Amino acid sequence: MPKRTLTFSQFLFAEEHKHPEASGEFTSVLIDIALAAKLINREVTRAGLVDILGFTGDENVHGEKVQKLDMFAHEVFYQILGSTGELAVLASEEDEDIVPVPEGARVGKYVVNFDPLDGSSNINANVNIGTIFSILPRITRKGPGTLEDCLQAGRRQLAAGYVMYGSSTMLVYTTGDGVHGFTFEPSIGEFLLSHRNIQTPPRGRIYSVNEGNYVHWHEGLKRYVDWLKRDDPSTGRPYSARYVGSLVADFHRNLLYGGVYLYPADCKNPNGKLRVLYEAAPLAFIAEEAGGAASDGIRRIMEIAPGSLHQRTPLIIGSPMDVKDAEEFISGRHVEVTSERRTPSQVRVGP
């Protein structure tokens, strides 16, 4: 007889029972997110067979061409979450402004920030893509949710997670009590617990970065990546380069195996490229709960209080020792850099 496993809903209810004061509203939001993910997964898996591949002809707030699946995923999240009565407001990576709950709907006490379909430029090539979400408590006391409710630092998150669509579809989430992964079983239409209490290794052997931008990087980052490639078995180098170009896919692999993902600031994007609310903060929460770390190169991502919905940030995320190395190279404090400064240049003497 096969070993019994828990569905996502069963797992959430078991966690809820640990808190007698719980009303069930928070659990309901997570269950609704899982439902939205199932609907998105259905369309992703048949995208090549129906008219949902390609562009809509519009551009989003970031000046990027909007994919049809992007808009489908955005609408699914809005339709399912917006009218449940549990949320005060939503914010989407695809929308310039906050997304209010529908007129006439009950206004709740939670906020959801989400990227409906990360990595959408890979859709037509059938590469892994994902949904990223973050749940926060509302700040305002009553009435419709406001911009202030959405613009909160990552450390105030109540939950964060992602869904990765690919050869198998996985939902990974945290509520601040460990990181757990659920694999979608299409025959019964349920996410089943497959990865309980995920822990990322303290140090990995993988680095993930778009080296096509090397020429635009600042000197500290160049030195760090060059150092990772250097042969030194005593420190586990050289590292292996693994870069899908889909944030969720690259992060997920490194979460399980260890390593570091970098989307740095550079001469083209001095403020970085990824969004704090929709990408960096949710993944930082997951990374830290799994024993990892997340930084913008100087400070902890979870401490950033964004000033706008689409504020960008550099991101270094993964195994804690790898993130620390990257920070020290960027700041010039790494022992490899300081030892070079102390070593005098060799000067040839004599005829």
Q: Two tokens at 324? A: 């620390």
> Any known ligand binding at 117?
yes
| SS3 state at 235 | helix
Q: How far is CA 293 from the centre of its chain?
A: 13
- Are 8-197 and 206-342 the same fold in CATH? no
> Any known ligand binding at 118?
yes
CB 85 within 8 A of CB 76: no
Mean of the pLDDT values across residues 295-312? 98
Smallest CA-to-CA distance from 144 within 208, 97, 179, 193 is with 97
Beta strands at 206-208 and 260-263: parallel, antiparallel or unpaired: parallel
> What are the distances in angstroms from CA 296 to CA 14, 61, 171, 223, 271?
36, 23, 25, 17, 10
Q: Over the Cα atoms of the chain, what is R_g?
A: 21
Average pLDDT, the chain: 91
- Could you report the per-residue pLDDT of 155-169, keeping only the tens digit for each? 999 999 999 998 899
CATH code for the part of the protein at 8-197: 3.30.540.10
Residue 61: pLDDT over 60: no
What's the pLDDT band for 48 if we cut at 50, 70, 90? low
> Any known ligand binding at 70?
no
Count how many residues are written for the chain: 351
pTM of the model: 0.92
Helix segments in the chain, DSSP class H: 8-16, 25-45, 68-82, 147-150, 219-229, 247-257, 281-289, 320-331, 335-342
| CB proximity list for 156: less than 8 A, separation 6 or greater | 136, 137
Instruction: State the pLDDT at residue 127.
Output: 86
CB 149 within 8 A of CB 232: no
> Any known ligand binding at 210?
yes
> Any known ligand binding at 262?
yes
> Any known ligand binding at 124?
no
Instruction: State the pLDDT at residue 349.
Output: 36
> Any known ligand binding at 261?
yes
The distance between the two most distant Cα atoms of the chain, rounded to a whole number of Å, is 90
> Any known ligand binding at 119?
yes
The domain defined by 206-342 folds into: D-Maltodextrin-Binding Protein; domain 2 (3.40.190)
> Any known ligand binding at 93?
yes
| SS3 state at 100 | strand
Q: What does the domain layout of the chain look like in residue ranges?
A: 8-197, 206-342
Residue 57: pLDDT over 80: no
- For residue 118, list its beta bridge partners: 130
User: From CA 186, how far away is CA 23, in angstroms rounded?
Assistant: 30
> Any known ligand binding at 115?
yes
> Any known ligand binding at 81?
no
Residue 238: pLDDT over 50: yes
> Any known ligand binding at 220?
no
Q: Which residue carries 């809820």 as its tokens?
A: 16
**What's at 193, amino acid-wise?**
L
Instruction: State the pLDDT at residue 97.
Output: 97
Q: Which long-range contacts (CB under 8 A, 24 or more apart) does 89-92 make?
A: 89/138, 89/144, 89/145, 89/146, 89/149, 89/150, 90/114, 91/150, 91/277, 91/278, 91/309, 92/116, 92/278
